A and B are shown apart, each in its own frame.
Chain A
Amino acid sequence: MEENNFNKNVSLLRKALGESATGQTYIETVPRVGYRFVAAVSEIGSRLVAPAEESGSAASTPRQKIQFCVTGDGVRLAYSSAGSGYPLVKAANWLNYLDYEWDSPIWKHWLRELTKNNRLIRYDERGNGLSQWDVKEMSLDLWVQDLETVVEAAGLDRFVLLGMSQGGAVAITYAIRHPERVSHLVLVGAFSRGLTARGTEQQMAGRRALQTLVRLDWGRNNPDFKSMFTKFYIPQNSTPEQHQWFNDLQRISASPENAARIMTLIDEISIRHLLPLVSVPTIVFHGDRDRVLPAEEGRILAAEIPGARFVPLNTGNHILLAEEPAWRVFLEELGAFLGWQNNQAGPAV
C-alpha cells in the first residue's frame, strides 16, 4: 500500500474509533518507527452479539412491547410495556422516542432498573417519537388526556406514576383527577411553574430567542445549537457518546415546529395552586444544581404537596446518568418508597 494512502486509512480508523471525540487513545504512533495498539484487548466468544443479548444481561433487560392507542380527539399514540410486576407508568417528558431510548446511554439504566421490580409503561406524547406528529391541538390538558388514554389502553387499575420534568405537571394533574388510580406519585426534576410564571423578563426574552432558533435550526444539523441543549440537560460527567445520543434523540424525536410548540406549552405550565389538592403519597427528587429546572421548583413541590418527601440529589444533571453517585441514591430512595424488597406483591399503601 502507498504510504499516503496508508496514512489516510489510519486517520479514518482513528476517526471511527472516536479517538479525538472521546479522548481515548487506541493506537499509539511511535514516530518514524510504527504503531502500537495500546487499549486493553480481550478475546471473547465465537459470535458477535449486541450487549442486550449477552449472557447475564438478557434477564435484566426485558423486551418492550410497543402498541398504539387513539385519544378522544383522534390522535394516535405509541405506548410500550416492559417487565412484570406492579405497574409503574412514566408520564411523557421533553421529547421521547420509545424505540430509540431503549438502548440509549441516556435512558438505558432507567429502563433496566425500572423494569426489575415493576411492569413499566411509557409512551410518546402527541407530536413526538412514534406517536402522531401531525396534531392540531396540544395543551397540558391534552397531555393529561394522552396519559389517561394510555392507562385505559394498557388496562391499568392502580399504579405508580412517575413524572419527570414537564411530565411532573402531567402526573400531578392526573393524580388529582384520579387519586384512586395512583398509589404512589414520584416526581423527578419536576415543576409547577413554567418560565412564564417564574422567569424574569430577561429570561423570557432569552427563551423566545431560543424558540425561534428551534423553529429555524432544529432539523438543520447545527451541532453547536444541539450541543447547547445537551449541555443544559446533562452537563456533568457526561461522555461524548452520551452527548451524541442526546443530540440525536432530539433531532429524530420531533419536528422543529412541534419542538417549539411543546417548548411554549412547557413555559406556560402553571399548576402551583393545585399542589395542595394532591392526596396520594408523593416523593420529590431534584438535582441541587439542575440547570434546566432550578432546585427551588422541587422544593416548592415538596413543600406544598401535603405530606410529600423531598430527596435532594447531588447533581447538575437534569437526567441522572448511570455512573453518577446520585443515581444510586435515587434508586435506594425510590426502592424504599415503593417497597421494592416486597416486589411482585405490589406496594403496601
Chain B
Amino acid sequence: MPPTAGLYQFGPFQLDPREHRLLREGVEVSLQLKAFEILCLLVENAGRLIKKEDLLERI
C-alpha cells in the first residue's frame, strides 16, 4: 500500500489522511486543518527527523 493511501494506527489513535479524520478509540478528535496536516506529515514519516524548514515549506 503506498504511504499516501494508507490509514495509520498509533497508540489509541487511528488516522485517515485522505478523509481528514483522527479517531481516538473510535471517537472523533477535532483538529484544525493545519495541525492535522502537520500530524499527517509526521506520521507518514514516522521515526524520521523532519527539518522544521521543510515542514514550514510543505504546510
Do A and B make up one complex?
yes
A interface, CB within 8 angstroms of B: 1, 3, 5-6, 9-10, 12-13, 16-18, 24, 26-27, 30, 33-52, 103, 105, 241
9 more contacts with CB within 8 A, not counting A6-B59, A41-B8, are A13-B38, A13-B39, A30-B49, A36-B42, A36-B47, A42-B8, A44-B6, A48-B14, A49-B26
Give the distance in Å from the alpha carbon of A266 to the alpha carbon of B31 in the complex. Answer: 42
Task: Tell me the residues in window 1-58 of chain B with beta carbons closer than 8 Å to chain A beta carbons.
Answer: 1, 5-14, 16, 19, 21-27, 29-32, 34-35, 38-39, 42-43, 45-56
- The residue among A17, A33, A105 with the most chain B CB atoms within 10 A of its own CB is A17
B interface, CB within 8 angstroms of A: 1, 5-14, 16, 19, 21-27, 29-32, 34-35, 38-39, 42-43, 45-56, 59
Nearest B residue to A29, CB-CB: B52
Nearest B residue to A51, CB-CB: B26
- The answer to whether A6 touches B7, judged by C-beta atoms less than 8 angstroms apart, is no
Also in contact, A48 and B35, with CB within 8 A (given A3-B56, A34-B50): no
CB-CB < 8 A to A33: which residues of B?
49, 51-52
Per CB-CB distance, the 7 closest pairs between chain A and chain B, nearest first, are A50-B26, A37-B42, A41-B46, A34-B51, A9-B35, A13-B35, A37-B46
Nearest B residue to A105, CB-CB: B25
Give the distance in Å from the alpha carbon of A46 to the alpha carbon of B17 in the complex. Answer: 11
- The answer to whether A38 touches B14, judged by C-beta atoms less than 8 angstroms apart, is no
Also in contact, A16 and B8, with CB within 8 A (given A33-B51, A35-B42): no
CB-CB < 8 A to A10: which residues of B?
35, 38
Give the distance in Å from the alpha carbon of A9 to the alpha carbon of B40 in the complex. Answer: 13
- The answer to whether B8 touches A12, judged by C-beta atoms less than 8 angstroms apart, is no
- The residue among A33, A35, A47, A49 with the most chain B CB atoms within 10 A of its own CB is A35
